[in-house]
Chains A and B, each alone.
Chain A
């Protein structure tokens, strides 16, 4: 039966496959969460992941935050200038960074680094039978490989985003004081005057969720990869793409459900 001959069957098959995929991912997520909370815990593995997800992502997150903050200040200056409200630039910059751009851009950058690395490493371990070898050595691969990665990413993303927030605000301040003739103290004063704790906290909560998504997609794609080098390459691409899309979708859902005030 060709595809053209029976479009209905084809749509049905694609739908079923999609639902099966979603189901597999949900089971995988549940198993990962369970593994995070059941001993034995592999603290050395967790430490390695904390370092690789957190510390080594600092340059990427810092640089993107710096440029994002600067360009945000520039654009908002132009926009607010149209109705003589340039004084609101610091407030809008910090609001935009803490609530949206900080968590989203940092997470997308980390997704590119970390989800890809996790998918490639676990994918290679899968195709070289190292994951099977773990199992035969009476070690649960979810606890040994996946729990440390998921936990590390969920813990480190909020910290990275907090640092990114600070650097982003600094980027805006740097541009405002050097290019746009803002007064340094006045700019910083304005930044904190209208900032609420919740602006920062809501962004950090998002970051935690995004961190979970990044590790989950990296591990899921890598763990289920097959077909040699090509399969590992496919897993890596899928991990980054699916993590990025899920981050943006989750961002919208979280914002519209929980952070509308």
Chain B
């Protein structure tokens, strides 16, 4: 399949004495949609943040198109991040800015697009996530949870990123809105020809979005395979997780990372 778009090699991270990532190995190929699932507090978010450089891993390498990006900082990191899009779990919309300014933030701030162009682009992108131009003038606080997720999705895709991260895209949404978001993610990612990496514990969402699924447990990817094989993985951890059983090899962590 050639060079992976993104690969993690033995990424480790601990906070104090708590080991969160214990040698994560993961490869994501160009144009592929990979979902990493795992229980709450298994370090899924930490993994994404290591790739984005929001957290520095203790050891291991992170490669983008075969180039080591683990320790990029400053301007180089900024340049790199322009190729990424990220949908945060809570949306993380800037509540001091109107919706259209949120959506076009990357265009105006990093790409120095003019206000008028940025506004026109914001309206286009909002339309792609099913929102009318009138929404652009609202404040994020005036939107419902599902609408905020759509705006956050619009912001994540606004700069036409090559690789997009989705952090629990369906968390806190009703099943119908969750499906709407899943559909939007699939469509927009296909549109852009982007590579997608999603972390979630929502199995319905994972089955829908993923080409390949990986299971993160105790700081390692313990199983990975095509989405079609998830039901016959033969892995007791995966079995327990996809069927949502309380009994099994996985015991829930009490403390969050």
With A129-B92, A132-B88 already in contact, the answer to whether A138 and B52 are too (CB < 8 A) is: no
A137 beta carbon closer than 8 Å to chain B? yes
Q: Decide: B109 and A130 in contact? CB cutoff 8 A.
A: no
Q: Decide: B90 and A136 in contact? CB cutoff 8 A.
A: no
Residue of B nearest to A125 (CB): B94
Interface residues of A, CB < 8 Å — how many? 15
Residues 48 to 97 of chain B near chain A (Cβ within 8 Å): 49, 52-54, 78-79, 81-82, 84-86, 88-90, 92-95
- Bound Cα distance A132, B53 (Å): 10
With A132-B49, A132-B54 already in contact, the answer to whether A137 and B92 are too (CB < 8 A) is: no
- Bound Cα distance A40, B78 (Å): 13
B169 beta carbon closer than 8 Å to chain A? no
Q: Decide: B94 and A136 in contact? CB cutoff 8 A.
A: no
Cβ contacts under 8 Å, A130 to chain B:
92-95
Residue of A nearest to B111 (CB): A138
A224 beta carbon closer than 8 Å to chain B? no
Output the least CB separation between A167 and chain B (Å).
32
Q: Decide: B81 and A136 in contact? CB cutoff 8 A.
A: yes
A15 beta carbon closer than 8 Å to chain B? no
With A138-B110, A139-B110 already in contact, the answer to whether A129 and B90 are too (CB < 8 A) is: yes
B106 beta carbon closer than 8 Å to chain A? yes
Output the least CB separation between B2 and chain A (Å).
26
B105 beta carbon closer than 8 Å to chain A? yes
A128 beta carbon closer than 8 Å to chain B? yes
Cβ contacts under 8 Å, B53 to chain A:
135
Q: Decide: A133 and B78 in contact? CB cutoff 8 A.
A: no
Q: Decide: B86 and A136 in contact? CB cutoff 8 A.
A: yes
Q: Decide: A138 and B81 in contact? CB cutoff 8 A.
A: yes
A114-147: CB near B (< 8 Å → 1, else 0) gives 0000000000010011101111111110001000
Partner of B82, one of A128, A134, A138, A140: A138
- Bound Cα distance A110, B198 (Å): 45
Cβ contacts under 8 Å, A128 to chain B:
90, 92
Residue of B nearest to A42 (CB): B109
- Bound Cα distance A243, B218 (Å): 42
Cβ contacts under 8 Å, B92 to chain A:
128-130, 132-133
19 contacts between A and B (CB under 8 A): A129-B88, A130-B92, A130-B94, A132-B54, A133-B92, A135-B52, A135-B54, A136-B85, A136-B86, A137-B105, A137-B106, A137-B110, A137-B155, A138-B81, A138-B82, A138-B106, A139-B105, A139-B110, A140-B78
- Interface residues, chain B, with chain A CB atoms under 8 Å away: 49, 52-54, 78-79, 81-82, 84-86, 88-90, 92-95, 105-106, 109-110, 112, 155, 159
Q: What 8 pairs across the A-B complex have the smallest Cβ distances?
A: A138-B110, A133-B92, A129-B92, A136-B86, A137-B106, A138-B81, A139-B109, A138-B78
